[in-house]
Amino acid sequence: MSDKHPSAVVRSGIDRTRRLSLIWAIPLVTLIIGAWLAWSTISQRGPLITITFETAEGLQANQSHVRHKDVDMGVVQKVDLSPDLKRVQVTVRMNREAEPLLTDKARFWVVRPRFFAGSISGLQTLFSGSYIDLLPSSEGGEPQRTFVGLENPPVLQSDVPGRTFLLQANRIGSLNLGSPIMFRDLEAGEILGWDVGEMARNITVHAFVRAPFDKYVHDNSRFWNASGATVQLGANGLQLQVESLRAVVLGGIAFETPDDPKITEESRADHTFTLFQSKDAADSSAFKRSVPFVANFIGSVSGLAAGSAVTLRGLKIGEVSSVSLVYDRALDNVVAPVHFTLEPERIAMLELPTNADLDSRMRDLVRRGLRVQLESGNILTGQKQLAMDIYRDAGPGQLGKDGDTYVIPVLGGSADDVATAATKLVNRLNDIPFESIGNNLDQTLAGVNALVNDKQLAESVTALRSTLASTQTLVDNLNHGLTPMTQRLPAIAAGLEDSVKRTDKLIGSLESGYGGDSRFNRDVSRMMMQLSDAARSIRVLADLLSRHPEALIRGRTDQGVQ
């Protein structure tokens, strides 16, 4: 056996080189990855912007995000107060993809659960938390890094095709952001907002009409306030008119376009229209001519106000513009001038002249009996209206003129009004002495009560009742007693008739013996006539008693021959 042992050869240079390369590879790779992540983060990093809000409700630093169409556009880094301590400044680090969207026309608002424009939005934030929504503008704009956030979300949050029109009104009433715009009972758009006009004389409402409804808006279209519900009590009964449930809650606007072949072009965007307070006012705007009048009432004009109708034989031909009180020195009394306008175009085929010719025509109508009077428009509500017509028996009258306004005579004032007549009737009823009448009735009833309860009267009634019972018994007895006798009367009458016949035979024999002109003969003839009358009377009496036995007590009551 050999004593040689194997020996190990150590290659220290090669092993040291491999060990050093593996150790330094790990930090090198880590450094490379970190550098790449840093470069990627920096390259994706967008600008830093500032958004101010009234409140920071629901926003938290490093947690709340900025989104557009549910795509992450940035993260809130800091939330603090503005230098004047009146608002909240939110600092947001935006992504690079959002940089082109950050223009002066971009809008931001906080998405949280809220009820706005007739709908509930932001319910998803109950679990995910509030976030800031971004709505860029499709029209471009100048780059901007400081923004003022909206407290409420915009009505239109996407690029909806359509056009915006401007509506001028004296007041907006119950209109709100997002109030619907109706066309033929269909929802055609929304109200985007409003701004105060020059010197605060009017309000300009921005109304957006979606396509395809916007093509039905022409320059002669009429817009009116359709908020709430309209209740009318007329010949067809009680009518309730509602444009839509949203219009009842949020207010609303309706419009229509008359079928006018002269106007066929669609209105351009931002065209200005007048917003009327009601559909009646919008319809009245179609009449181009109006004639001003004034009527001076001495009596009460309660229930008459601006907007009340002026009618001709029950149909509207004008509207009251104002009602006031003025002291008239000539009359030494306070009068109520009622200014109203008439629209002659409401009367078909009526052509009124102008200028001096109109003055002559109006004087002629007043001479023929043209008058105005106050009448009830609605008895339940007490609303009044003016009625104009030609009254042939109106008496003399004269037309006056105050500038361009015609002063028309008044017929009857308020004395002919139904409510006034009812008031006078109530006053007359109040003059009736109901208390004295009641006292007299009480005394009369007391006397009747004493008379009815009198003992002597009760005894008299009892005695009369007994007498009537006795009389009834007597009549019954007579009916039973006379019945056999009345049955024998026909036999007696027959016997008497037989006796008369035999007597006639005897007289014939005597005639032949004694002659027809003797005294004996004449006496016998007279006796026979009397016997014949007696027999006839007995027959009549028998017949009468057989039919009316009570005649023995009451006597003969009929007037005919029995």
- CA distance linking residue 350 with residue 389, whole number of Å: 15
* Sign of torsion over alpha carbons 527, 528, 533, 534: positive
- CA distance linking residue 111 with residue 131, whole number of Å: 6
Q: Quote the pLDDT of residue 113.
A: 77
Mean pLDDT of the chain: 78
Domain range list for the chain:
44-148, 162-284, 291-414, 457-554
Q: pLDDT, tens digit, for every residue of 328-369?
A: 888 888 999 999 999 888 888 888 887 778 888 889 999 999
- Tell if the pTM clears 0.85, that is, is over it: no
Confidence of residue 561 (pLDDT cuts 50, 70, 90): very low
Confidence of residue 376 (pLDDT cuts 50, 70, 90): confident
Give the best-scoring range by mean pLDDT among 351-355, 363-367, 459-463, 477-481: 363-367
Element (H, E) at 53: strand 45-53
Proportion of the chain in helix, strand, coil states, percent, rounded to 5: 35, 30, 35
DSSP, res 410: B
3-class DSSP state of 100: helix
pLDDT at position 504 over 70: no
Total number of residues shown for the chain: 562
Q: With beta carbons less than 8 A apart as the criterion, state whether 411 and 366 touch.
A: no
Q: Quote the pLDDT of residue 406.
A: 92
Q: CA 170: distance to chain centroid?
A: 25
3-class DSSP state of 195: strand
What percent of the chain clears pLDDT 70, i.e. is strictly above it? Answer: 69
Q: pLDDT, tens digit, for every residue of 251-278?
A: 789 999 887 756 668 899 989 999 998 8
Q: pLDDT, tens digit, for every residue of 524-538?
A: 677 777 777 776 777
Q: Quote the pLDDT of residue 87.
A: 92
Higher pLDDT, 545 or 406: 406
Residues 6+ apart with CB under 8 A from 56: 79, 88, 90
Confidence of residue 416 (pLDDT cuts 50, 70, 90): very low
Q: Quote the pLDDT of residue 414.
A: 44
CB neighbour burial string for 404-418, b if at least 16 within 10 angstroms, e if fewer: ebbbbbbbbbbeebe
